[in-house]
Amino acid sequence: MKISNVEVLVLKSPGLYHSPEGAEEPSGPTYMGLVKVSTDAGIVGYSDMETSAPVAKAAVEAPRWSEPGLEFCDGLASLVIGENPLEVERLWYKMYRGSIYFGRRGVVIQAISAIDIALWDIMGKFYQQPIHILLGARWRDRVRAYASTLFRPTPDAMREAARRYVDQGFTAIKFGWGVFGRDPAMDVRLVEAARAEIGDRHDLLIDTGWFVERTPKEAIRVIRSLEPFRPFFIEEILHPEDYDGYRQVADSVETLIACGEQEATEWGFRQLIEVAKVDVVQPDLTRCGGFTVARKIVHMAERANVLVIPHSWSSDLLAAASLHLNAFQRRAVFVEFNTSQGPLSRALVKEPLRLVDGHVAVPSGPGLGVEVNEKTIEQYRIA
Ligand code: MG
């Protein structure tokens, strides 16, 4: 079996990422890049990616530039077409090294991530096994989900939203971004309202958003102001590359500190685990380097007693990928479940993932175990 083609399809949803007032449920991603890897055996693998899809398309489709055997500036497709898709580890490194002059991070690692996930999808379909079995473990067949949504602008709207997720069966809710960080007193009231609504039995997770510039001491103050409401973790309280700042914060508070959705590669996560000393790493499979990197992150994190809670705020395709990683982890706490109802979140696969008893089942079919809906692709494809 050989890789015959690698394509990037650009999709655009009619909805906005979130409503301007922030009071409604966000509609999920507006733009999406979908990677499709084809083989001469007729097996096809897919992955979405959270990035600038047109830039990723250029990185994938750029021509061969350098001498065979001395690749350093080549389009990603040119590096893997003709190769055996089952050699995921070698192909990951061939793409990484073969694009190193313009790559390493940003859009290139995101495109490498998506191609890598598609290769694992192909490998699963070839061996007729789900990806978590190929990774080597099915520790669990379902994972507790947290509803992942944006902060609402008033305490009443927070209570109403929190009630809705509990009514849907969620036992954990994460509020993030939105108005948080504009007014510290209001921030406390918003979190207080959510905790009051959900009571003590459910978990409340807070994503404070790194785009609010904070020093470590300011971050510690924010966390202490929220600690009475017992957040399960506080996510991205500092800029994602402020490793020393994260260590200062993590050393100063009892609340778990989470970070990592912007981080990539085993070398980046080593910084987060060993220098930043965060309690929870949140690799996004479509940003960190795909399964080939994520399994190394899981190994590093398990050795260091750090939790891995994958970031997954896109489609059911990414949520399915995250569930396979969850199944492989010795200790998995949550799968992130994007509650948006936009078509790129909910209609990208034929059978959307469902919440049952506050949990989502780990897909058991071959590869990712979910089937891409070609009709949705046709409907929303713009390039
Ligand atoms: Mg986040």
Read off the pLDDT of residues 288-336 as tens digits, 9 standing for 90 and up: 999 999 999 999 999 999 999 999 999 999 999 999 999 999 999 999 9
Nearest to 333 by CA among 243, 258, 271, 274: 258
Active site residue 311: yes
Ligand 1 centroid distance, CA of 89 (Å): 28
As given in the structure block, the two tokens for residue 185 are: 């007193």
Ligand 1 centroid distance, CA of 234 (Å): 10
- 10 Å CB burial of residue 81 (0-12, 13-18, 19+) is middle
Report, in angstroms and rounded to the nearest whole number, the Rg of the chain calculated over CA atoms: 20
Ligand 1 centroid distance, CA of 29 (Å): 14
SS3 content of the chain, % helix, strand, coil (to 5): 40, 20, 40
In this prediction, residues 229-256 reach a mean pLDDT of: 98
Domains of the chain: 3-129 (3.30.390.10), 134-372 (3.20.20.120)
Does residue 18 have a pLDDT over 80?
A: no
In this prediction, residues 171-194 reach a mean pLDDT of: 96
Ligand 1 centroid distance, CA of 39 (Å): 35
* pTM value > 0.85: yes
What pLDDT score does 50 carry? 86
Ligand 1 centroid distance, CA of 189 (Å): 21
Ligand 1 centroid distance, CA of 250 (Å): 17
Ligand 1 centroid distance, CA of 82 (Å): 37
- The single residue listed with the structure tokens 């690692």 is 109
Number of Cβ within a 10 Å radius of residue 383: 11
Q: For residues 178 and 170, what is the distance between their CA atoms, to the nearest angstrom?
A: 21
- The one catalytic residue in 18, 132, 202, 311 is 311
pLDDT tens profile 130-180: 999 999 999 999 999 999 999 999 999 999 999 999 999 999 999 999 999
First and final C-alpha spacing in the chain: 28
If you average pLDDT over every residue of the chain, what do you get? Answer: 95
